[in-house]
Structure 1
Amino acid sequence: MRYSLLIFLLALFESCDNSSGSTRPEFTLPEGYSTERVTRVLLSEDLEEISGIAWHENELLAIEDESSIIYRTDPETGKILKKKKFEKNRDIEDILVRNDTAWVLRSNGNLYRVVDFREKDSHTVIFDFPIAESRDLEAIVADIDEPFIWVFCKVCEWDEDPSRSSFFKFDLGTMKFDSLPAGKIEKSQLKGLLANSALDKLKIQPSAAAVHPLTQEYYLISSTGKWLMTLDKALKPKTIHLLHPSLFKQPEGITFSPDGTLYISNEARDGRANLLIFNYQP
């Protein structure tokens, strides 16, 4: 279902609002994507709390934050093809795939390694997060060049306030977390990328992460404040984009197909959970 009517109404609303002299934020997407080229797919009730997605072998893997199940879905229809229970019910937040192994993030920072997740006899190993302080981590992504996984804080006690998000390295060679943050994404790094009026209100609280397969950039998305950020290989911000809340009601998952098609999942909020699909046209 195309969003042409919604885009027209949004444009009309913003035009009328601007004519009254008020200032509204500018809603954009990274280069190559447009809200005029979006398809929306409604998801089943099983995925009302969808919290992470990942592309794998022409399927879209999905998780939701109330049951430890990997859902294999059809990326065009959202239909659930198969389910895989990998752990007792936990607060599950993000997922990525390397070969036939799924890596799933729990909100406390623990990583679940689900080996052969497509098979009946899969095997799950848990790697505990190294810090016991109050924390909520919701985004993971594989390093572009090295055998690492990066894990991002949404709200962690040691970050002190929403102006920063620390991230940690999990080494796939040693299968261990570093005990200290590898770095931070801070609001101060975004000066010049966003108007000061919008930057002042921004909270650095990422919900999900992915790697663009063609540009080799990291993408971070946040449901808090509705923004999408691109970062270089050193995890330094390049661009940041405010997302229109009418389209991105609660964006909690992000991934790409090999041709650069962008998928963003929204949890159900006053309606049905959905998948937004953006074709890549650089």
Structure 2
Amino acid sequence: MKVMNAAILLYILLVLSFTGCSRQGKSFVPSIPGYHTDTRQTIVLDKELLEISGMYYLPDTRIAAINDEDGKIFLINSSTGDFTVTKFGRKRDYEDVVVVDSFYYVLESNGNIHRVPVAMANTEEEFEFPREKKIEFESLYYDPNLKQLVLVSKEQRETKKGIITYTFSPDSLQFSDDILYEIRRKEIHEHLKDNNAEFKSSAAAIHPVLNKLFLVASVGKAMLQCSLDGKIEGAWQLNPVQFPQPEGLTFAPNGDMFISNEGADGKATILKFPYTPGK
């Protein structure tokens, strides 16, 4: 009974803590330098994007996005939420999308990569992730320094570390044999100041101004800033009222941040945070 009462008390304290955050309007705890909640913009998405699971900012200011289950590319107006859609494949568990040169690269949860020509978005090639051990992926980003796509694990049984990454080359169309880098669970706990914190990466992107890797976790409601070799440099909790299910992350060239939420409460959204460095 004492154990149960203690658990209930802890839950109440957590709820009160996050409720306080929402009353104050905070999105990130502590605040992320350059991003302020009072300038946040909310874009409500159509029900067809209820399960938006990944997105990528395009040069023409639209956002390429995918739905969790449908083999479709959505091109979303980053101001209004209006969109066009093109089907490229059958129903699968799609998790993220990146655009490199003239191709969309769509990540499946099992690590498979689907390459879709931008000019002919109704066709695709599939490249199977060559690992027999169970690894689940939800995050994909492009590292222009390595000229590689980087797959970030959500859950894995390959090592005892928290997060592992592999690469896929858009040139050779080959996966790496070895892990690129690892982010230890212990280090995540240290930066979040919580030894029980969960962090299952659901999205990743490189900040174009800072040249830093940002990772978002829906399970764990947190964000990490890392060097490009995976060393944690900052950590923030996400307000669960504003981020009920954060599944997508992308940046505009000027550093504006976009985070998408699947429709946990019936409406999917994209939250835009303008970047104002030095403020």
User: Residue 173 of structure 1 aligns with which residue?
Assistant: 171
Mapped partners of 2:75, 2:19: distance in 1: 38
Aligned-pair identity in percent equals 29
Which whole-Å CA distance do the structure 1 matches of 2:196 and 2:189 have between them? 13
Describe the superposition over 1:7-64 as per-residue Cα deviations: whole angstroms up to 9, x where unpaired: xxx999528x9xxxxxxxx823432112222111110000000000111121011111
Taking a change above 3 Å as real, the CA distance of residues 11 and 186 of structure 1, as seen in their structure-2 partners, is: closer
What are the equivalent positions in structure 2 for 1:1-282 lying under 5 Å apart? 13-14=19-20, 27-56=29-58, 57-80=60-83, 82-115=84-117, 117=118, 119-120=119-120, 123-160=123-160, 164-190=162-188, 192-195=190-193, 198=194, 200-282=195-277
Provide the rounded CA distance (Å) in 1 between the counterparts of 2:17 and 2:219.
23
Letter matched to residue 271 of structure 1: G
C-alpha distance in 1, partners of 2:57/2:129? 25
Change (3 A) 1:110 1:28: same
Aligned residues: 256
Give per-residue Cα distances to partners, 1:207-234, cap 9 Å, x unaligned.
0111111111111101001011111122
Give the whole-Å Cα distance in 1 for the aligned partners of 2:140 and 2:106: 8
Q: Is the 8 A contact 1:144 1:233 kept in 2?
A: no
CA-atom RMSD in angstroms? 2.2
Q: In the alignment, is the contact (CA less than 8 A) between 1:251 and 1:267 conserved in 2?
A: yes
Deviation at 1:192, TM superposition (A): 5.0
- What is the letter of the counterpart of residue 212 of structure 1? H
After superposition, what is the alpha-carbon deviation per residue over 1:57-90, rounded to whole angstroms, capped at 9, x for unaligned? 210111111101010010011111x212111111
The question of whether the paired residues in 1 share the 8 Å contact of 2:213 and 2:225 is answered with yes
TM-score (norm 2): 0.85
Q: Aligned partner of 2:174: which letter?
A: K
Structure 1 residue runs without a partner (length 5+): 1-9, 18-25
**TM-score, normalising length: structure 1:** 0.85
Write out per-residue CA displacement over residues 217-256 of structure 1, whole angstroms, 9 at most, x where no aligned residue.
Answer: 1111010010111111222111111101011110000001
Aligned equivalents of 2:17, 2:232: Cα separation in 1: 28
SS in 1 for 2:124: strand
